Amino acid sequence: MNKLIRAEFYRLRHTGHLFWYAILLPMLFIFMPYILCMDQMDKPLDELIESLGTMCVLVYNFFPALIAGFAGQLFNKGKLGYYEVIAGNKPSHIIMSKIFSDGVFFSVIYTVCVSAFYVFLGIKNGVGTMTHPFIRLGLFAVVMTHLVVSSIMIMMASKKTVSAVVLTYIRFMVFDIAFMPALAFVFTKLGLEGVATHLGYMIVFNQLEMTALGSIDLTTILHIILGFIGEFILWYIVVYRGIKKKKFS
Amino acid sequence: MRLKSSLRKEYGMEYVMELEGLTKTFGKKTAVDNFSLKIEKGHICGLIGPNGAGKTTIMRMMAALTEPDSGEMKFFGSANLDEARSRMSFIIEEPYMEHSMTARENMQYLRFIRGVADESRIDMLLDFVGLKDVGKKKVGKFSLGMRQRLGIAMSLLAKPEFMVLDEPINGLDPEGIIDVRKMLLKLTEEEKITILISSHILKELSELCTDYAIVNHGKLIEKLSHEELLLKTKTFIGLRTNDIGRTCTVLEGSLGIRNYKVSPENEIMIYERLEDLERISSIVTQNNLTITKINVEGESLEDYYIGKVGDQNE
């Protein structure tokens, strides 16, 4: 697996993709929130994040998933998976090498980019009522890893770029904004409020909000970590089966 | 020089590839139908067939890119295909390359994927395929021929013992085709690599292959060695000299050739020792005879193939 991780980092460095990430990511994580909340840039951090509201779903959910997923899409589109299989690598090694290279790369970059921006504003304007900043930062890193790893594996599971983008949209927009809340609503109507609450906390969008604004307790931490593990296992099975059946474009 | 029968003696009957009853259907169409084929070590086997005959599907199944519906595959005598495939290399359809990287970077990248320790092999192989001096030119700006050469270099990186090449000379100019042919012959001679190659350029295959497998409608129509092909196509050596009578004496006395006849145009047609063109030429010349013509004549692989596949399609 180490050789595959090394190869992936080599490709990342030499294809010129880093240049595009260096342009795209600051635009996404710094300029977009700045433009969206330009008139509130002097407010304390908690108020500022609240004003960003549902735009979070695009800035911190869908777009980052799409960008990170690009690395996963190369797996099929560029026939990369095809050659990694031919080279005699095990499917589990192929999947985990992408997680430990592209996955780690993007989650670190996302976490650093976003936290640098908000740490700067926090120092400049104060944090307001926000507590446990370091725990929040750690949880934010987990949510970002969840997002990145899931999006990479979604793209690895899709044979075509269009279907990969559509699937990412469904997962990070439709599922988070409409499907899961609707499901939670149904559970509430059935008198299963507890299940509804847990389902709500499993949504990446909600988890992002929890790391920024909600109260930090053991339940929150468990929801964030278990949400990540659950989705990881789901997509791992899908991608593993695809590689085993040699489903490449 | 072609390897042919000397190889059989050297390697005996050690099979590098054994396909038995491979079948693959896509919907209602049977792409590969109970296909069986064996290739001996060190041989170059040409897989010949019209478009849609199932050649690429057979190669994709060998490469684990398509799952066969039924049948068995063995490589190097082993049914552990994952292990065996690490000793093989494939060029099926367009080889994987990062177009925004240079030839060397692509080789380096593949070196990591395949876990090849020896980095010096990259320069050696780029030199071998004539791409050592391309410098920092990105692969995206390469001509088709250059990409094919790089594909071959990449497939050789992990020192494969068996190469599977699907149309490796497609789109190459005549010079490129000759270069690739020389490269492949050199590989079989120097590195004893076994090759399964498909191409529509039959003349080229006849210059290269030791064996041929003719495929149509997913079935193996015939497998024959180059010698068998020569016999079946009634190929002969046509020889003209300044003294036909004395030439016949030399052929019989010095070379022991009996199976020949002299045409009314005073051309000697030799039906045996077709591999010994150079030796025949040398012995005749040593006997102070002047050769005005000597070449191998008869039906070509192309004629033979069209006869076979044509019969099938009628």
Nearest in space to B7 (alpha carbons), one of B34, B40, B48: B40
Contact B98 A14 (CB under 8 A): yes
B272-304 pLDDT, tens digit per residue, is: 888 788 899 999 999 999 999 998 877 777 777
Say if CB A98 and CB A72 are below 8 A apart: yes
Residue stretches of chain A with pLDDT short of 50: 249
ipTM value: 0.74
Smallest CA–CA separation between A8 and chain B, in Å?
8
List, edge to edge, every strand of the sheet that includes B260-262.
B260-262, B268-270, B236-241, B291-297
**How many Cβ contacts (< 8 angstroms) between chains A and B?**
64
* Mean of pLDDT values over B48-68: 87
**B-interface mutation test, from A86, A93, A98, A247, most B Cβ less than 10 A away:** A86
B233-276 pLDDT, tens digit per residue, is: 767 888 999 999 999 999 999 999 998 888 888 889 898 888 78
Residue B45 pLDDT: 93
> Which has more confidence, B103 or A171?
B103
Say if CB B186 and CB B22 are below 8 A apart: no
Residue B312 pLDDT: 56
Highest mean pLDDT (candidates A35-39, B40-44, B202-206): B40-44
Residue A181 pLDDT: 81
Residue A236 pLDDT: 93
Q: Which residues of B touch A6 (CB under 8 A)?
A: 112
* Mean of pLDDT values over B159-172: 85
Residue B79 pLDDT: 86
Whether residue B57 has pLDDT greater than 60: yes
* Mean of pLDDT values over B59-77: 89
Rg (CA), chain A: 19
Min mean pLDDT across A122-131, A180-189, B95-104, B110-119 is at: A122-131
**B-interface mutation test, from A2, A70, A76, A83, most B Cβ less than 10 A away:** A83
Q: Which residues of B touch A11 (CB under 8 A)?
A: 98, 101, 109
Min mean pLDDT across A130-144, B90-104, B161-175, B298-312 is at: B298-312
Say if CB A8 and CB A98 are below 8 A apart: yes
Rg (CA), chain B: 22
Which helix (H) or strand (E) segment holds residue B197: the answer is: strand B194-198
C-alpha span between B289 and B242 (Å, rounded): 7
C-alpha span between A33 and B16 (Å, rounded): 61
Say which of B83, B108, B113 has its CB closest to residue A83.
B113
Token representation of residue B99: 């177009």
C-alpha span between A44 and A42 (Å, rounded): 7
C-alpha span between B17 and B20 (Å, rounded): 10
C-alpha span between B124 and A126 (Å, rounded): 61
> What residues does B35 pair with on adjacent strands?
B22
- DSSP assignments along A186-211, one per residue: HHHHTT-HHHHHHHHHHSHHHHHHHH
Say if CB B204 and CB B181 are below 8 A apart: yes
Q: What percent of chain B has pLDDT over 90?
A: 28
* Mean of pLDDT values over B154-181: 83
C-alpha span between B48 and B46 (Å, rounded): 6
**Other CB atoms closer than 10 Å to residue A214's CB: what's the count?**
14
* Mean of pLDDT values over B59-73: 88
Say if CB B76 and CB A79 are below 8 A apart: no
Domains with residue ranges and CATH for chain B: 5-230 (3.40.50.300), 236-297 (3.30.70)
Q: Which residues of A touch B98 (CB under 8 A)?
A: 11, 14-15, 78
Contact A246 B66 (CB under 8 A): yes
Q: Which residues of A touch B115 (CB under 8 A)?
A: 3, 87
Say if CB B148 and CB B171 are below 8 A apart: yes
Say if CB A247 and CB A159 are below 8 A apart: yes
A54-100 pLDDT, tens digit per residue, is: 666 667 777 777 777 777 666 666 567 777 777 777 888 888 988 89
